[in-house]
Amino acid sequence: MNLVIDAGNTSNKLAVFRKNDLLFLTSSDTPGFHKAVKDVFSKFPEIDHALVASVGSLTKRELDVLAIFCKVQLLTSVAAVPFKNSYASPQTLGVDRIALATAAYFNYPNTNTLVVDAGSCITYDMVNDYGEYLGGAISPGLYMRYKALHEHTANLPLLDPSPFVELIGNTTENSIHSGVINGIAREIDGVISQYQSRFQHLTVILTGGDGQFLSNRLKNTIFANSNFLLEGLNYLLEYNKS
């Protein structure tokens, strides 16, 4: 039984898998990480391997606590991967993007697959039908755009995303919502269209914390999967066991 941990910029997701089946999912902030780990192992004491992908604030102290319970691997850019990595600087490739490419490779073999991860940043990752990771793009995420407008201007307020957005904003607040949300949706649609013009029979996966919020605002056909990165981590753990 496997435990995979996605330690992000704002929270830590802990997922338990038996083979390829997701059995349990929880999340915690970093101060609550120790308790979350203990709770997971109290429910699933048969966990014998863990893989951690950290782009956030987990330290050696948290990893040492985890190692009390099972064998722990920390995902790095030099880990063995099942796909051909054609990234020009593989040593700089984020572990989150490695996991997403792995999930694309295993879930959609022999398929041109674009993964859009809408989190703190929006990442685009392309795996072609030869099982080759080509790279993609990184752009500011939803909350980052709201925060940038507030912090880099004198008078614009800091807002949370609104579920109701008009094209023409008739107040400053509504104008910000229109610019951020409509802008990000049109960006994603535009990027998908560019990939579709280059790759035949393209499958598009939308994941990440803001994926569900954005999914019904996109014109292109997508498959939403909020656990795609966790599935990729589990595939990597199984792959590196062998």
Q: Which residues are annotated as a binding site?
A: 6-13, 87, 94-97, 117, 120, 172
Residue set of the binding site for ATP: 6-13, 120
Both structure tokens of 176: 């910000």
On whether the CB atoms of residues 204 and 220 are closer than 8 A, the answer is yes
- Which residues participate in catalysis according to the annotation? 96
**What is the phi/psi pair of residue 8, to 5°?**
-95, -165
Identify which of 53, 64, 46, 63 has the alpha carbon closest to the alpha carbon of residue 2: 46
Task: Show the 3-state SS of the chain.
Answer: CEEEEEECCCCEEEEEEECCEEEEEEEECCCCHHHHHHHHHHHCCCCCEEEEEECCCCCHHHHHHHHCCCEEEECCCCCCCCCEECCCCHHHCCHHHHHHHHHHHHHCCCCCEEEEEECCEEEEEEECCCCEEEEEEEEECHHHHHHHHHHCCCCCCCCCCCCCCCCCCCCHHHHHHHHHHHHHHHHHHHHHHHHHHHCCCCEEEEECCCHHHHHCCCCCCCEECCCHHHHHHHHHHHHHHC
On whether the CB atoms of residues 218 and 189 are closer than 8 A, the answer is yes
Residue set of the binding site for substrate: 87, 94-97, 172
